[in-house]
Chains A and B, each alone.
Chain A
């Protein structure tokens, strides 16, 4: 009850921080997609690169988020602004599921279908755009979904370096030993993650061809 009234009283700030959070997640996901999709596709064409590249992405994922923010702090252009830095780190985290699912999704396409496509005289670009990507879309979107949910969570840590978002309330609440403040950050963040999962799940179902 008490928490609820706190929410109502501070709704403007919570809303603003939620939007900030969404912005961090959105931009870093766009960045992760812009890098991860082409990279995942490239790996299916240069299979020998797949082990090292996915390995590196794996290692990045194992770095604790707080440490990754810290590591990037001295970087020249990135360290200048907290949001730049946060977005870079978040994008790095989101990269692995995007690359890996693009790669395995495309490789999972029935070789007979790919063979037929090439044998019928489709160009490499046509095979990719008309056959491989549509058939791998379900797997790729599943990766995007996982990456987005992870990013929503990790983005709360971005407040530690002053990048804003709902983490700000959580950190403030911890410092003030006030559960209401912590929940004011944690509940919207959790809801946001659930909402993203739901939305992307719908997109996945909509765009994936029915068997």
Chain B
């Protein structure tokens, strides 16, 4: 895992302990390179979401340091940091009382862009995620399907043009067909936009499909980082376990894992 091309995000021996609980993350060192999609793969409670939240400072490390663009997250102004990092979560977390337009316009508006610029940007983003603006601008999230909501979530995260995107099981709640479709589109989007993406999932197939590298987490520790090819052929016993488990259960195990996986 050499310190190859330009790290955008670096974890330096990071541990995290939530108040009065056990160690959720221990001694994690990891760097994310510009333009890559790093998948954090692991089972429920392995520390994936915790890792993600340490990046946009929704959590702060108990030990060690998380650096974004060479600066510790604690030195960043938290608000500035978060506005320069796109964030997509499961079920999208759209504001139910905002129209699609206002949802997508959120960060540009917080950043006080000119109104015409915001309007144009919202349309551009909706086009980008395949939702015709004139049809969707004035709808409320409750008037959208799960797949459409997730697209709006992606559009909202991209609207402020952040160089980094954090995605926490963004497609986890979708039915398999919609998920496959949106994964394919996301792959195309990724190639086009060249963002640095950290993508959390427990779905191995998704990890192999979307990741340029896969970081395997187990019980709050980093078990290894692999390219998809390496992962598929790794001799590492833990990875072999994963492969066996996922193969045995295949589609079914993915489904049953879904609902159980909340945020730690």
Q: What chain B residues lie within 8 Å of A113 (beta carbons)?
A: 93-96
A134 on interface, CB distance cutoff 8 Å: yes
A211 touches B79 (CB 8 A): no
Q: How far is the CA of A211 from the CA of B142 in the complex (A)?
A: 6
Q: Which of B152-169 contact A (CB under 8 A)?
A: 156-157, 166
B107 within 8 A of A: yes
The answer to whether B227 has its CB under 8 Å from any CB of chain A is no
Stretch of A99-107, A120-128, A144-152, A184-192 on the interface side:
A120-128
- Among candidates A115, A122, A135, residue contacting B110 with C-beta atoms closer than 8 Å: A122
Is the CB of B140 closer than 8 A to any CB of chain A? yes
Contact of B79 among A121, A131, A135, A210 (CB under 8 A): A121
B91 within 8 Å of A by Cβ?
yes
Asked if B83 and A121 sit within 8 Å, CB to CB, the answer is yes
Evaluate contact between B82 and A112: CB separation under 8 angstroms: no
Q: B96 contacts A119, CB within 8 Å?
A: no
Q: Kindly state whether residue A71 has any CB partner on chain B within 8 Å.
A: no
Complex interface bits, A128-161 against B, C-beta within 8 A gives 1, otherwise 0: 0001001100000000000000000000000000
Q: Does A53 contact B (CB under 8 A)?
A: no
B174 CB → nearest A CB, Å: 15
Known pairs A115-B58, A126-B110, A211-B96; A120 contacts B91 (CB<8 A): no
Chain B residues near A31 (CB-CB < 8 A): none
Are B96 and A112 in touch, CB under 8 angstroms? no
Does B89 lie within 8 Å of A120, measured CB to CB? no
Chain B CB within 10 Å, residue with most, of A120, A122, A135: A120
Kindly report which residue of chain A lies nearest to residue B97, judged by CB atoms: A209
Cβ–Cβ contact B83 & A120, under 8 A: yes
Q: Is there an interface contact between A115 and B89, defined as CB atoms closer than 8 Å? A: yes
The answer to the question of A59 belonging to the interface, with a C-beta cut-off of 8 Å to chain B, is no
Question: In residues 61-93 of chain B, which contact A (Cβ within 8 Å)?
Answer: 79-83, 87, 89-93
The reply on B15 being an interface residue by CB < 8 A is: no
Contacting pair A119 B110 (CB below 8 A): no
Q: Nearest Cβ in chain B — how far from A171, in angstroms? A: 47
B89 touches A119 (CB 8 A): yes
* Chain A hits for B140, CB < 8 A: 209-210
Whether A131 contacts B80 by the Cβ 8 Å rule is no
Overall SS of chain A's interface? helix
Contacting pair A119 B97 (CB below 8 A) = no
What is the CA–CA distance of A110 and B94 in the complex, to the nearest angstrom? 10
Is there a chain A Cβ closer than 8 Å to B32's Cβ? Answer: no
| Set of chain B residues within 8 Å of A119, measured between Cβ atoms | 56, 58, 82, 87, 89, 93, 166
Point out the residues of chain A lying under 8 angstroms from B156, CB to CB: 120
Docked CA distance A123–B83 (Å): 11
Interface contact A112-B79, CB-CB below 8 Å: no
The answer to whether B83 touches A112, judged by C-beta atoms less than 8 angstroms apart, is no
Query: Which of A115, A117, A121, A211 is most buried by chain B, counting CB atoms within 10 A of its CB?
Result: A121
B56, B79, B81 pick with most chain A CB within 10 angstroms: B79
A19 within 8 A of B: no
**A118 partner residues in chain B, CB cutoff 8 A:** 58, 82
B58 x A135 contact (CB < 8 A) = no
A120 CA / B157 CA spacing, docked (Å): 8
Q: Which B residues touch A110, using CB under 8 A?
A: 93, 96
Chain A residues whose C-beta falls within 8 Å of the C-beta of B126 in the assembled complex: none
The 7 A-B residue pairs with the shortest CB-CB distance, nearest first, are: A116-B93, A121-B83, A121-B82, A209-B97, A119-B87, A112-B93, A121-B79
Which B residues have a C-beta under 8 Å from some C-beta of A?
56, 58, 79-83, 87, 89-97, 106-107, 110, 140, 142, 156-157, 166, 263
List 15 contacting pairs A-B, 8 Å CB cutoff, sorted by A: A112-B93, A116-B87, A116-B92, A117-B93, A118-B82, A119-B89, A120-B157, A121-B79, A121-B80, A121-B81, A121-B83, A123-B79, A134-B97, A209-B97, A209-B140
